[in-house]
Structure 1
Amino acid sequence: METPAGVNAEAWAPVRMGAQGAVVTNHPLSSMAGMRILMSGGNAVDAAVAIGFALGVAEPQGSGIAADGFMMIHMKDAKSLSIANGTGTAPSAATPERFADGIVTNGILSVSVPGICDALLSAHERHGRLPLADCIQPAIELCLEGVPQTHFQCNLAASHDLLHSFPASAAIFAPDGVPLKPGQIRRNSDLAKTYALIAEHGREAFYEGPLADAIVAFSEQAGGILTKADFAKYRMEWQDPISTTYRGKTIYEAPPNSSGHVLLQELNLIEHFDVAALGLHSAEAIHLMVEAKRLAFADREAFLGDSAFVDVPLEGLLSKEYAAERVKLIDPERAAEAVAAGDPWAFQNRAPAAGKSPGHAGSGMGEMRSDTTHYCVIDRWGNAVDGLQSLSGHFGSQVVCPGTGMLLNNRMNYWHLDAGHPNLLQPGKRVRHTMNPVMVFDRAVEEGGALGLCCGTPGADVQVQVNMQVLSAIYDHGLNVSEAIHAPRWTHIQTGMTSAYPHSAGSPHSMVGEDRFGDAVIGDLVGRGHPLKKVGAWAGGASMGAIQVSEFGSYHAASDPRRDGQALVF
Structure 2
Amino acid sequence: MMEVSLPYVASELARAAGYDRPHGVPHQSRSVVMAREGLVATSHPLAAQAGVDVLRQGGTAADAAIAANAVLGVVEPMSCGIGGDLFAIYWDAKEKKLYGLNASGRSPIELNTSVFQERKLKEIPIDGPLSWTVPGCVDGWEMLRTRFGTLPMADLLAPAIGYAENGFAVTEIIAGSWEGATDSLKKWPDSADTFLPGGKAPTAGELFTNPRLAETYRQIAQGGRDTFYEGVIAEKIVAFSKDVGGFFSMRDFIEHESNWIEPVSTSYRGYNVWQLPPNGQGIAVLQMLNLLEAYDLKKMGHNSADYLHLLIEAKKLVFADRARFYADPAFADVPLEGLLSKEYANQQRKRIDPNKAAVTVPAGDPKLQNGDTIYLTVVDRFGNCCSLIQSTYHGFGSKVTPADLGFTLQNRGALFALDGEHPNRLEPRKRPFHTIIPAMVTKDGQPWLSFGVMGGDMQPQGQVQVLINMIDFGMNVQQAGDAARVRHLGSQTPTGREMEPDGGRVAVESGIGPDVVKALEQRGHKVVRLPGGFGGYQGIMIDPRTGTRQGGSDPRKDGAAVGY
Fold equivalence (TM over 0.5): yes
5 Å-filtered alignment, 1:371-386, equals 371-386=372-387
Match of 1:563 among 540, 557, 561: 557
- Give the Å deviation of 1:507: 5.6
Cα deviation for residue 416 of structure 1 reads 0.8
Alignment of 1:93-492 (within 5 A): 93-100=110-117, 101-102=120-121, 103-160=124-181, 161-346=183-368, 368-443=369-444, 449-492=445-488
**1:24-39 to 2 correspondences below 5 Å:** 24-39=41-56
- Structure 1: how far apart are the matches of 2:189 and 2:278? 37
SS in 1 for 2:94: coil
Q: Per the alignment, do residues 10 and 344 of structure 1 end up closer, same or farther by CA in structure 2, a change over 3 Å counting?
A: farther
Secondary structure of the corresponding residue to residue 421 of structure 2? coil
CA distance in structure 2 between the partners assigned to 1:156 and 1:8 by the alignment: 31
Q: What is the one-letter code of the residue matched to 2:517?
A: I
Q: Does 1:56 align with 2:73?
A: yes
String of CA shifts for 1:174-212, please: whole Å, max 9, x gaps. Answer: 222333222221111111111111111111100000000
Give 1:364's aligned residue: none
Aligned counterpart, 1:360:
none
CA distance in 1, matches of 2:77, 2:354: 43
Q: For the residues of structure 1 that align with 2:471 and 2:294, how far apart are their CA atoms?
A: 14
Note the alpha carbon deviations across 1:79-109, whole angstroms, 9 max, x for none.
1111111111000112111122331221222
Cα distance in 1 for partners of 2:524, 2:327 equals: 31
The residue number in structure 2 matching 1:13 is: 30
Displacement of 1:32: 1.4
Superposition RMSD on alpha carbons, in Å? 1.7
Q: Structure 1 length as normaliser, TM-score?
A: 0.92
Partner SS state of residue 423, structure 1: coil
| Secondary structure at 2:387 match in 1 | strand
Given that 2:360 and 2:499 are in contact with CA atoms closer than 8 Å, whether structure 1 keeps it comes out as no
Matched, 1:546 2:539: yes
Task: State the 1:495 CA deviation.
Answer: 3.5
Asked if the contact 1:372–1:459 (Cα under 8 Å) also holds between the matched residues in 2, the reply is: yes
**Structure 2: segments with no counterpart, 5+ residues:** 1-10
Measure the CA separation in 1 of the matches of 2:496 and 2:374. Answer: 23
Partner amino acid for 1:453?
A: L
CA distance in 2, matches of 1:166, 1:185: 23
User: Aligned pairs, how many?
Assistant: 540
Of 305-314 and 8-17, the range deviating more from structure 2: 8-17
Structure-2 residue corresponding to 1:363: none
Partner deviation per Cα, 1:133-168 (whole Å, 9 max, x = no partner): 111111111111112223323322333223235222
Letter in 2 for 1:261: I
Amino acid at match of 1:254: L
Cα deviation for residue 132 of structure 1 reads: 1.8
Counterparts of 1:29 and 1:249, CA distance in 2: 33
Letter aligned with residue 44 of structure 2: H
Are the counterparts in 2 of residues 413 and 502 from structure 1 also a CA contact under 8 Å?
no
Any conservation in 1 of the 2:324–2:363 contact (CA below 8 Å)? yes
The answer as to whether partners of 1:157 and 1:163 remain within 8 angstroms in 2 is no
Identity of aligned residues (%): 39
Q: Conserved in 2, the CA contact under 8 Å of 1:30 and 1:51? A: yes
Q: Distance in 1 between matches of 2:52 and 2:342?
A: 40
CA positional deviation for 1:52: 1.9
What letter corresponds to residue 206 of structure 1 in structure 2? F
SS at 1:454's partner residue? strand
Q: How far apart in 2 are the matches of 1:296 and 1:84?
A: 24
Distance in 2 (CA, whole Å) between partners of 1:181 and 1:144 is: 18
Structure 1 residues 535 and 181: CA distance shift in structure 2, 3 A: closer
What is the one-letter code of the residue matched to 1:527?
Q
2:94 match: 77
**Contact 2:191/2:400 (<8 A) preserved:** yes
The offset of 1:402, in angstroms, is: 1.5
The alignment status of 1:526 with 2:521, answered yes or no, reads: yes
